[in-house]
Amino acid sequence: MKQGFDHEKYLREQSEFILERVNSCEKLYLEFGGKLMEDMHAKRVLPGYDPNAKLKLLEKMKDQVEVVICVYAGDIERNKVRADFNITYDMEVFRLIDDLRSYQLDINSVVITRYEQQPAATQFMNKLNRRGIKTYIHRATKGYPTDVDTIVSDEGYGANPYIETQKPIVVVTGPGPGSGKLATCLSQLYHNYRRGQPASYSKFETFPVWNVPLKHPLNVAYEAATVDLKDVNMIDSFHYDAYGVLAVNYNRDMEMFPVISRIIEKITGSQLYRSPTDMGVNRVGFGITNDEVVKEASRQEIIRRYFKTACEYKKGTLDQETFHRMDAIMKAANLKPEDRTVVVGARKYGALKNAGLPEGESCSVAAIELADGKIITGKSSEMMSGSAAAVLNAIKYLAHLADEIHLLSPMILQPIINLKRGTLHSRRTTLSCEEILMALSVCAATNPVAQAALDKLSLLQGCQAHTTAILSQSDEQIYKKLGMDVTSDPEFPSENLYYM
């Protein structure tokens, strides 16, 4: 893929900007918007961006940084899931802690926000405490968001315990939106000023990108990514009034800025920022080196988000309003599903394979677009899923192996199917992508041809894939782990409700 973003320049500019803010005060509470690590959205729309750029930036400043993780008690109680990893928010907090530690970053504590004695949140807190992780409880802020006098008082932020920190930069992050990061930052700011220790607040932003046009595909892709949150990009009128400069922000920050500005002014006695754009530390726009590459990558991301929204709507996890909003974004960007090349390849092959089947029968198909533009396909069978077949066919092609060569003999696969059907009493015996790759890795120990194909798996990194039916959770995760961007038509692979 052509590169459109200078990762090193971005890291350099972003770190300098953060340090400028730290030098103006004794302590900076830095709220991290979006994902702190594994920011795959940014990687997809900014070719050349490192998905762990934020972590690597913090690692450079690790002597000055400690981390506070916020998680909303209600999200733990209802087992909210981070979709890209398919893990619940409490598990995501554990993952965050482990990954941050691997970068030698100090974890100060975990804050359970808007805590109301939820049993699951209490249990989660016990788990953390027994592993030596300090925890704090913050309840809903009295008077928020309109009664500033109550908010900035002992009844409001003062009711929260103060989080003792040692380093000048306190990064406040969480597993997802609505985790209570802003309230935690402002609560700390209140306590610092009560103690005679001046501090400041800022927000580490990535999207929307304030210094590219409002309707730039990069910013439209952000709207598509947050379609379920109803985020809408808009011109920052506060910034234009203050400086006469056009800047892009989004509705939630614009709506909350007057309130946040009054709260900060009440706490500090001065106006720190004149616009929501001022509050952010966002130099990502200055890292763009090829605008056309970024535009095309962003258009492709909008289409991928369309398919994701359509599938979630089909499964019943998103409402019709959200799907219609996503459809409107696609049309406003003058895009259609077929603008994603691999979609056309998958549907064409699917139509061909299903044309010869008896009435009432159908097979699902997967297609993978390789780096050279070649479309490799695979279809579902009684033995394996279409997504597994496509991966096998792709690595055969990459290893320059003849199509008629069988990487896996039915003699190898049948015992696995028999085990699933007989001993494990599974009604779904078709082998998944993970099971096929496990079988291939075992065969590679004695079969050089299998090993040659297995060695090509890394070349699937960055490839595009599409399936004509909704992927199983297992196969979707394997495609993501292999580094492929996969989409699916919003169709179920069978009429079964559970045994799909």
- Per domain, the residue ranges of the chain are 7-287, 341-488
Total-model pTM: 0.91
Which residues are bridge partners to 106 per DSSP?
A: 66
Q: How confident is the model at residue 80 (pLDDT cuts 50, 70, 90)?
A: confident
Lowest mean pLDDT among 21-25, 120-124, 327-331: 21-25
Superfamily of domain 341-488: Domain of unknown function (DUF1846), C-terminal subdomain (3.40.140.40)
Instruction: State the residue for tokens 């499964």.
Output: 315
User: What is the arithmetic mean of pLDDT over 453-482?
Assistant: 95
**Which stretches within 364-444 are classed as H helix?**
386-398, 410-418, 433-443
Task: Give the model's pLDDT for residue 360.
Answer: 67
* pLDDT above 90 (res 205): no
Q: Could you tell me which residues are beta bridge partners of residue 377? A: 367
Q: Answer whether residue 241 shows pLDDT above 90.
A: yes
pLDDT in tens, 47-79: 999 999 988 889 988 999 999 999 999 999 999
What is residue 335's three-state secondary structure?
Answer: coil
Query: Is the pLDDT score of 40 beyond 80?
Result: yes
Q: Is the pLDDT of residue 278 over 70?
A: yes
State the pLDDT at residue 168: 94
d(Cα 235, Cα 216) in Å, to the nearest integer?
Answer: 13
Beta carbons of 38 and 52 less than 8 angstroms apart: yes
The H or E element containing residue 113 is strand 106-113
In 426-484, the DSSP E strands lie at 464-467
Sign, CA dihedral 160-252-174-284, equals: negative
Give the other-Cβ count within 10 Å of 59's Cβ: 15
In CATH, what number does 7-287 get? 3.10.630.10
- pLDDT reported for residue 221: 98
**What's the sign of the alpha-carbon dihedral 394, 396, 480, 210?**
negative
239: pLDDT strictly greater than 80: yes
Residues 24 and 49: their CA atoms lie apart, in Å, by 29
Point out which residues pair with 171 in neighbouring strands.
30, 67
Which pLDDT value is given to residue 382?
A: 87
Q: What is the pLDDT of residues 424-444, one digit of tens each?
A: 888 788 899 999 999 999 999
3-state helix, strand, coil in the chain (%, to 5): 50, 15, 35
Round to whole Å and give the CA distance between 39 and 375.
27
Paired sense of beta strands 28-32 and 169-173, if any: parallel
Spatial CB neighbours of 432, under 8 Å, sequence gap ≥ 6: 384, 385, 388, 472, 474, 475, 478
- SS3 at position 267: helix
Per the CB < 8 A criterion, the answer to whether 361 and 375 are in contact is no
